[in-house]
Amino acid sequence: MSKENLEVKERKLKTIVWISTISIIGLWVLTYFLLKRLDFDERGTLGDMFGSINALFSGLALAGIIFSILLQQIELGYQREELKETRKEFAIQNETLKKQRFETTLFNLIKGYNDVVLNLTVDETKDKEAFKRLYDFLNSKLEEELRRLEKAKGITYRLTYDQLTEEENFQVLIRGYPKFYLQREHDFGHYLRVVYNLLDFIDKNELITENERLFYARIFIDQISSPELLLLFYQCYYGRDFSEIYPLQKKYELIKNINVNRLIIRDHYEMTNSQIYSNHFKT
């Protein structure tokens, strides 16, 4: 029962009690005047028959008991409503605390991610320079595949990427990137796991809505530098046998802000929408 209904019930109860009380007193007064007209013998006889005074106090006592019982019921109703409101407040506070714990954990994970980036070391280079070093090493691995293609085709001059067909460019990439990853996984494998775990933590959290997941994921993704995005692009799209990041990348647009002109060749980005890519990775 709502608080408004309890208040209406209380008003009705008070009205009934007042009407009952006035009626009892009125009947007693009426009895008094009726008895006044009679002689003493008749009054005694009538008094013994009706016992007006006893009836008055008995009626008032009964009305008081009923009133007390009904008042207790109303008080219990108020208490139940207060308990409901208290439970609602506790539930809201509990949800707020859970969300605060989620945010605290998330920002600690982001701090951990930034620490990993700052301390990443590749051939004595650190931080963003380490990612550039890795990117140069990837480029060299693709160059090696390009040179192998020259020998396979019996070409004596140096091939360039723009001289290759889309199929040949794709083959160079899917052969070169896994070799790069296997040789350099010890350098940045931990970094990839941190990125994956952070996105996975946001994606699987049941305390937040879908829109909130996108919001928190964007907070993290905005921390990622351009050199990191370049490597993440190749890892997500062409190193998928070694990575679980791909589905999360698609959902949260991990590489949305990538500068495609800084890829080894722009065709690598365009190939992700080609039939060759779809047939190979079954997307």
Whether pLDDT at 155 is above 80: yes
Per-residue model confidence (pLDDT) at position 244? 78
Confidence of residue 5 (pLDDT cuts 50, 70, 90): low
Whether pLDDT at 130 is above 90: yes
3-state secondary structure of 20: helix
Whether pLDDT at 3 is above 70: no
**Can you read off the two tokens belonging to residue 270?**
């365009």
Whether pLDDT at 39 is above 80: no
- Whether residue 185 contacts residue 193, with contact meaning beta carbons closer than 8 Å, is answered with no
Read off the pLDDT of each residue in 23-40 and give the average, rounded to a whole number. Answer: 65
- Whether residue 131 contacts residue 240, with contact meaning beta carbons closer than 8 Å, is answered with no
Read off the pLDDT of each residue in 238-250 and give the average, rounded to a whole number. Answer: 81
What whole-number distance in Å separates Cα of residue 165 and Cα of residue 144? 17
Lowest-confidence region among 49-53, 132-136, 188-192, 222-226 = 49-53
**In the chain, % of residues over pLDDT 70:** 78
Give the CA count within 13 Å in the CB-facing half-sphere of 95: 9
Nearest residue to 217 (alpha-carbon basis) of 204, 198, 234 = 198
Per-residue model confidence (pLDDT) at position 42? 58
Read off the pLDDT of each residue in 90-110 and give the average, rounded to a whole number. Answer: 84
- Whether residue 198 contacts residue 213, with contact meaning beta carbons closer than 8 Å, is answered with no
- Whether residue 271 contacts residue 169, with contact meaning beta carbons closer than 8 Å, is answered with yes
Per-residue model confidence (pLDDT) at position 4? 63
**Centroid of chain to Cα 118:** 30
Read off the pLDDT of each residue in 20-38 and give the average, rounded to a whole number. Answer: 67
Read off the pLDDT of each residue in 5-27 and give the average, rounded to a whole number. Answer: 70
Whether pLDDT at 165 is above 60: yes
Read off the pLDDT of each residue in 243-267 and give the average, rounded to a whole number. Answer: 90
- Residues 186-191: contacts with CB within 8 Å, 24+ apart? 187/120, 187/121, 187/122, 187/130, 187/134, 188/120, 188/122, 188/130, 188/131, 188/134, 188/231, 190/116, 191/116, 191/117, 191/120
Q: Which residue has the higher pLDDT, 53 or 260?
A: 260
Read off the pLDDT of each residue in 237-241 and give the average, rounded to a whole number. Answer: 81
Per-residue model confidence (pLDDT) at position 246? 86
Q: Which residue has the higher pLDDT, 53 or 104?
A: 104
Lowest-confidence region among 35-44, 144-153, 217-226, 270-279 = 35-44
- How much is the mean pLDDT over the chain? 82
Per-residue model confidence (pLDDT) at position 6? 57
Give the CA count within 13 Å in the CB-facing half-sphere of 203: 15
Whether pLDDT at 223 is above 80: yes
Confidence of residue 116 (pLDDT cuts 50, 70, 90): very high
- Sign of the four-CA dihedral 221, 226, 227, 229: positive
| Number of residues that this document lists for the chain | 283
Per-residue model confidence (pLDDT) at position 47? 55
